[in-house]
């Protein structure tokens, strides 16, 4: 769907004037669901628990929550706002909005870096999301019934050790992503997210309910919420910050691209608050579901990326109706990952589409390229697990290619993009323009993005560069 929208001056009437304008979300509710669909994904259910476990719990969670509130939320408002003003792909939007503000053409670089980050994330995200599929099969076939922690670990280890299996699931998942993306995001997504997101939420509540019966709930609560600041390192703060961007789908063009489809009359600030709150609730619920099980079975909180795949089958195996709940859980996790991966591809697809490539070709081409890069991730889980090419830098020592992609995107590219966006909206864009978009919230938002966000980002960077 090529578009020729112009900045700011476009009223909702000019948007509906021709059929070639991009389709807008049909209501605020649908946008919220699409944005929540993008935000809620592996980041909440897979990544948040395992990085919390690796970084010692409480203090890390507190920093993460602070990053969401003080940096993530204002940035989400900024991205959706810029996206709606530009009305194009993130790259196109940055070009259009920078020009309208009389700023340098180079601002387009922010859109390019965001699109690149989304592409890199998609490449490894698809590999991880693929893991849910063999888990669905195991759940249906009853393999989890009465499984112990050791066997569950072995099951997971077996999956990681098999490049061909990983390749199969990675390929299927990328295919699914391309399928919806090629059909036009709005069309494919609206129906799915409005039903599946609420279902996932309810299922997580059930899991938390089960976890409360393990006798280790209190331990998990104090692990998650009792801060021990002596365990907090500068790198953990950077990880919490990077994860705040990752989990809210920021600094990757996803929210900017979706913002372009947001009708003018919808309040950006209120919407962003709802999305951020829901995303945070899902992550905390996932933590509350998983850590009691971890402690009840004497598993290591610092287990790493396998954490939920090793712990949850043990819980499901003992729960009444566990086979059913396990199947439902991994199906919903697959869907949650799917609605996120679609939004990752959107930055690139919408850009190529603007350049005259059809949506179908753009989705296939972009998906294929990310699939190829993804193969290096899946090999780094087995055949190349000893290939740690950046060992000569202390910070990257022992990191496989997968670890490096994750680090590069979440800890370097996203904070950098976020910093530049904050500088753009806080210093380069006319305040009247952002005020027109944000209304009464502008008063609160403006000083935050102008001072607090960039300064906080600089401090975290400075501490990490020491
Ligand atoms: N927010 C998604 C998650 O938490 C990941 C994501 C990152 C989606 C960047 C889009 C863009 O799983």
For residue 248, the domain's CATH number is 1.10.4160.10
Quote the ligand 1 centre to 125 CA distance (angstroms): 9
Tokens of 117: 């980050």
Instruction: Please indicate, yes or no, if residue 74 is contained in any of the structural domains.
Output: yes
254 C-beta closer than 6 A to ligand 1: yes
pLDDT value of residue 1: 38
Rounded to an integer, the average pLDDT of 9-16 is 38
Count of Cβ atoms closer than 10 Å to residue 45 Cβ: 27
Is 60 exceeded by the pLDDT of residue 407? yes
Instruction: Please indicate, yes or no, if residue 14 is contained in any of the structural domains.
Output: no
Confidence band, pLDDT 50/70/90 cuts, at residue 12: very low
43 C-beta closer than 6 A to ligand 1: yes
Instruction: Report the mean per-residue pLDDT for the chain.
Output: 91
pLDDT value of residue 248: 98
Instruction: Please indicate, yes or no, if residue 317 is contained in any of the structural domains.
Output: yes
Tokens of 325: 């709940």
Domain containing 227 equals: 22-464
Tokens of 105: 């053409």
Instruction: Please indicate, yes or no, if residue 5 is contained in any of the structural domains.
Output: no
Distance between CA 134 and CA 168 in Å, rounded? 10
Instruction: Please indicate, yes or no, if residue 10 is contained in any of the structural domains.
Output: no
pLDDT value of residue 197: 81
Answer positive or negative: Cα dihedral of 80, 82, 86, 91.
negative
Is 70 exceeded by the pLDDT of residue 137? yes
- Residue with the bigger pLDDT between 411 and 170: it is 170
Beta carbons within 8 Å of 7's beta carbon, 6+ residues apart: 85, 86, 87, 96, 97, 100
Is 80 exceeded by the pLDDT of residue 299? yes
Minimal CA–CA distance to 185: which of 113, 95, 253?
A: 253
C-alpha to C-alpha distances, 363 to 112, 167, 182, 312, nearest whole angstrom: 17, 20, 5, 34
What are the tens digits of pLDDT across the range 360-382?
A: 999 999 999 999 999 999 999 99
Instruction: Please indicate, yes or no, if residue 4 is contained in any of the structural domains.
Output: no
Beta carbons within 8 Å of 377's beta carbon, 6+ residues apart: 123, 124, 127, 401, 402, 405
pLDDT value of residue 325: 87
Confidence band, pLDDT 50/70/90 cuts, at residue 20: very low
What are the tens digits of pLDDT across the range 226-269?
A: 999 988 998 899 999 999 999 999 999 999 999 998 988 899 99
What are the tens digits of pLDDT across the range 411-421?
A: 999 999 999 99
Q: How many domains does the chain have?
A: 1
Instruction: Please indicate, yes or no, if residue 9 is contained in any of the structural domains.
Output: no
pLDDT value of residue 23: 67
Instruction: Please indicate, yes or no, if residue 121 is contained in any of the structural domains.
Output: yes
246 C-beta closer than 6 A to ligand 1: yes
422 C-beta closer than 6 A to ligand 1: no
User: Which atom of ligand 1 is found nearest the CA of 46?
Assistant: 12
């Amino acid at each position: 769907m090529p578009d020729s929208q112009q900045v700011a001056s476009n009223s909702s009437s000019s948007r509906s004037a021709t059929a070639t304008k991009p389709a807008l979300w049909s209501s605020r509710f649908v946008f919220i669901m699409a944005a929540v669909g993008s935000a809620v994904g592996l980041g909440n259910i897979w990544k948040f628990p395992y990085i919390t476990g690796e970084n010692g719990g409480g203090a890390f969670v507190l920093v993460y929550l602070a990053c969401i509130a003080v940096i993530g939320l204002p940035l989400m408002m900024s991205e959706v706002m810029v996206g709606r003003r530009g009305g194009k792909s993130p790259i196109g939007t940055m070009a259009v909005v920078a020009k309208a503000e009389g700023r340098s053409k180079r601002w387009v670089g922010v859109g390019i870096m965001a699109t690149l980050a989304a592409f890199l994330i998609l490449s490894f995200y698809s590999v991880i999301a693929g893991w849910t599929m063999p888990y669905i099969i195991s759940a249906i076939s009853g393999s989890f019934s009465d499984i112990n922690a050791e066997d569950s670990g072995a099951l997971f280890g077996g999956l990681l050790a098999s490049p061909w299996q990983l390749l199969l699931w990675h390929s299927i998942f990328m295919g699914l992503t391309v399928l919806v993306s090629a059909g036009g995001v709005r069309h494919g997504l609206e129906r799915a997210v409005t039903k599946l997101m609420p279902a996932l939420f309810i299922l997580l509540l059930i899991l938390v309910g089960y976890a409360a019966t393990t006798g280790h709930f209190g331990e998990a609560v104090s692990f998650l919420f009792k801060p021990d600041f002596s365990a907090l390192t500068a790198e953990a703060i950077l990880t919490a910050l990077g994860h705040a961007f990752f989990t809210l789908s920021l600094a990757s063009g996803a929210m900017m691209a979706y913002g372009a489809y947001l009708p003018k009359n919808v309040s950006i600030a209120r919407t962003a608050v709802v999305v951020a709150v829901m995303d945070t609730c899902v992550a905390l619920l996932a933590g509350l579901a998983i850590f009691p099980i971890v402690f009840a079975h004497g598993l290591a909180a610092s287990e790493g990326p396998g954490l939920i795949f090793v712990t949850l089958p043990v819980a499901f195996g003992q729960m009444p109706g566990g086979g059913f709940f396990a199947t439902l859980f991994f199906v919903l996790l697959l869907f949650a990952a799917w609605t996120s991966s679609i939004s990752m591809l959107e930055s690139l697809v919408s850009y190529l589409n603007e350049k005259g490539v059809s949506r179908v070709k753009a989705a296939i081409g972009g998906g294929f390229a990310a699939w190829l890069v993804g193969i290096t991730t899946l090999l780094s889980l087995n055949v190349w697990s000893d290939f740690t090419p950046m060992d000569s830098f202390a910070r990257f020592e022992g990191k496989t290619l997968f670890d490096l992609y994750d680090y590069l995107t979440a800890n370097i590219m996203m904070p950098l993009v976020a910093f530049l966006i904050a500088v753009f909206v806080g210093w380069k864009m006319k305040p009247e323009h952002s005020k027109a978009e944000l209304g009464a919230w502008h008063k609160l938002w403006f000083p935050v993005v102008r001072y607090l966000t960039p300064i906080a980002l600089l401090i975290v960077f400075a501490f990490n560069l020491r």
